[in-house]
Structure 1
Amino acid sequence: MEGKRKRKLSVAIITFNEEKNIGDCIRSVLSFADEIIVLDSFSTDKTKEIATSFPTVRFYEAPFPGHVEQKNKAISFCQNEWIFSLDADERANEALQKSILAFLEADEIGCDGYKIARLTFHLGRWIRHSGWYPQRRFRLFKKTNACWVGENPHDFIELSPGSRGKVMKGDILHYSFLDFSHQINTINQFSSIVAYTRYAKGERFSVFKTITKPMGKFLEIYLFKFGFLDGIPGLWIALASSFSTYLKYAKLYELDRLQLERPSNVRKDYGKK
C-alpha cells in the first residue's frame, strides 16, 4: 500500500494538558500520516509521555501566544508539502481515513486544499444541527498555499488568493466537552480570550450590544440553525451560546471601564511570541 502513494502527508496537532485525548487523536491518523507534529505549550500532565510513545511523532514545546499563532508555528515544523491539521480532541473517522488514503494515492489532485465536515459529540449525542454540523472548513492543505487566520480562539484555515479548494468525504469527530460543566468552563475561558483580543484591537464596551447580541445569538442557534431538532441538547447549546456572547461583552466592560489588565483565566504567556 505504501508504494502506491504519490505524496506524503504531515499531521499538525497543538496540545496543552491533553493526556485524555492525544492518544486517540494520534491513533486516528496513523494509517496515513508520514509524520505527526505535536506542538505542546509545556503541559503538566502526561501529554508528552503519551505523544512521544508513537514513533512517527516529532514533539516540540513552545510558549502559547494564541491559537492562530501556535497552529501556524506547528505548520512551520512540518516537512511535507501537504498538511492535515487536527485538534487534540478531534479524530479522523473511518470514512475520512479512507478519503485521505485515496488522496495520497491519486495521480491528479487539481486543488490546493480540502474542506472537511466536523461532527461534535455533546450531551450524549452527535449534534447535527445548531450550526455545529457540517461546519466544513479547510483542514487538509498545501503548506505554501494556506495559513491559520481568524479571531482567537475561533481560528480557521484560509487558502492563498487564487488557490482552489474541494470538499473531502468523511468527518472529523469532535469530542469537545466531557459534560455541560466542561462546556461552561470552556465558554468562560474562550470568552475571556475573545474579550482580551478585541480590547487589544480597540473594541470597547457597549450596553446596546450587551443586551441585543445574546438574544440574537439564541434565536440564530435555536430557530434559524434548527437547534430545536437536536432536542434538549440543542436548547442547552443555544442558551450556552447566548451566555457566551453576554460574557464577551461583560468582560469587555471589565477591561474598558474597570481597567482590568486581563481576565484572570487568560494565561500570562498569552500573546507572547
Structure 2
Amino acid sequence: MKSNLPDITVIILTFNEEIHIRRCLESLQNIAKKIIVVDSYSTDKTKDICEEYHVDFYQRKWNHNHAEQLNWAIDNCKIDTLFTMKMDSDEYLTTELIGEIIDFFKTNNIFKYNGYILKRGLIVKGRQIKHGDFKIQNLLRIWKTGQGRSEERWMDEHIQLENPSLYSFQNLFFDENLNSISWWTQKHINYARREALDYLLSKYTNQFKNSDQVSNTSAKTKRLLKNNIYDKAPLFLRAFLYFIYRYFIKLGFLDGTQGLIWHFLQGFWYRFLVDVNIYELEKAMDKNPQKINEFLKENKIQ
C-alpha cells in the first residue's frame, strides 16, 4: 500500500483488457493507496500488465453478473482504506479530476460525506459525445468503505448507500472503449438478453421492488423515467421514438459521424434488440414467473 495518497482502494473487474488496463492504471496511480483487480481468467496480457503496477490481483470465475463479481470483491479483497472506488477498465481519470480529488482528500471535508459522485464523459471513435441527452453521466463511484454495495441486477446496477451524504466532483473522467464495433455489438447482444431478464423479473416478480431507491439522485431520476415512461410504451415503437428524441430533438446529429454511430447503435439498435429479447422470452415463458427462474438456471447469460 502506498503512503501519502488519498485513502482510497480502487476495484477494477477485468477480462481480456490489455487494450485498456494500462491507461486506466496510469490514471489511478496518484489517487489510490491500493488498486484491486479481480480478473475472470484473462487469456491476453491483462495479468502481466497488472503485475507491472503491483496491484492486488485476484482471479475468480465470471458468473455472468457484474454486480455479483463486484460485491464479491467488496466482501473478500481485504479493503482497509477509508474509501472504496469502482472503475471500469476502459475508463480513465483526467488530469484535472486527479488534481481535484487529491486536493479535496487533503481536507477534513472528506469526513462530511459517505459517497462521491464522479462525472463521466463518453468518447466514441476519438470524439467526445456532447449531444443527444448523453453529454455527462453522474455516477456514484467513491464511497465510505463498508457502507456501499452494488444492486443485485443483471444490468444497469448502481452502488447503494444507507443514509447517503453525497459530494460531487466537477471535473470529468472518460469512458473510451478502443475495441472494434464488431466487439461492441457482440457484447451488447449479450447485454440485451440480460436487460430483458431484468425487465421480466421486475414485471412478474418482486425482485426489484426497491430498484428506484438508488443513492445517486440523477441515476434514480433516470430509472424512474425509464420505469414509468419508457417501459410502459409499446415494444419496438419505443426504440424508434427514443432514437428520434436523442438524435433529432436533443441534437445528437451535431456529434457528426461518431454521433450517428453512437446514437443509432446504442439508442436504437440496442433498445430494439432488448425488445426483441423481451418478446421472445415472454412468449417462451408464457408469462410465468417460475419459468423465468427456470430459464436462469438452465441458460448461461454471458
- Give me the TM-score of the superposition, normalised by structure 1: 0.84
- Is the Cα contact below 8 Å between 1:92 and 1:172 reproduced in 2? yes
- Structure 1 CA distance for aligned equivalents of residues 82 and 162 of structure 2: 15
Alignment gaps of 5+ in structure 2: 206-230, 286-291
5 Å-filtered alignment, 1:187-266, equals: 187-201=188-202, 209-240=234-265, 241-258=267-284
Judging by fraction of residues, say which structure has more helix: 2
Maintained 8 Å contact 1:123/1:179: no
1 CA distance for matches of 2:183 and 2:133?
A: 20
Q: Secondary structure at the match of 1:31?
A: coil
Contact 2:194 2:301 in 1 (8 A): no
Partner of 1:15: 14
Give the equivalent residue in structure 1 for 2:126. Answer: 124
Alpha-carbon distance between aligned partners in 1 of 2:162 and 2:151, rounded to the nearest angstrom: 11
Gapped regions of structure 1 (runs ≥ 5): none
Which of 128, 136, 141 is the matching residue for 2:138?
136
Contact 2:115/2:142 (<8 A) preserved: yes
Q: Which secondary structure state, in structure 2, belongs to the residue aligned with residue 52 of structure 1?
A: helix
Q: CA deviation at 1:221?
A: 1.8
Contact 2:19 2:178 in 1 (8 A): no
Q: What amino acid sits opposite 1:268 in the alignment?
A: K
Question: 2:170 — aligned with what?
Answer: 169
Q: Counterpart of 1:38?
A: 37
Amino acid in the other structure paired with 1:62: R
1:108 alignment partner, SS class: helix
Provide the residue aligned with 2:58 in structure 1.
Answer: 60
Residues 120 and 137, structure 2, Cα contact 8 Å, conserved in 1: yes
**Aligned AA (2:237):** T
Name the CA distance, whole Å, in 2 between partners of 1:105 and 1:189. Answer: 42
Change (3 A) 1:4 1:52: closer
RMSD (CA atoms):
2.9
- Tell me the CA shift for residue 262 of structure 1: 6.4
> What is the aligned-residue identity percentage?
26
The number of equivalent residue pairs is: 263
Q: 1:119-148: per-residue Cα shift (whole Å, max 9, x none)?
A: 111033111222332111111111233222
Q: CA deviation at 1:150?
A: 6.6
Quick one: which amino acid aligns to residue 212 of structure 1? L
Task: Pick which of 95-104 and 252-261 moved more.
Answer: 252-261
Q: How many angstroms does 1:34 deviate by? A: 0.7
Equivalence for 1:97: 98
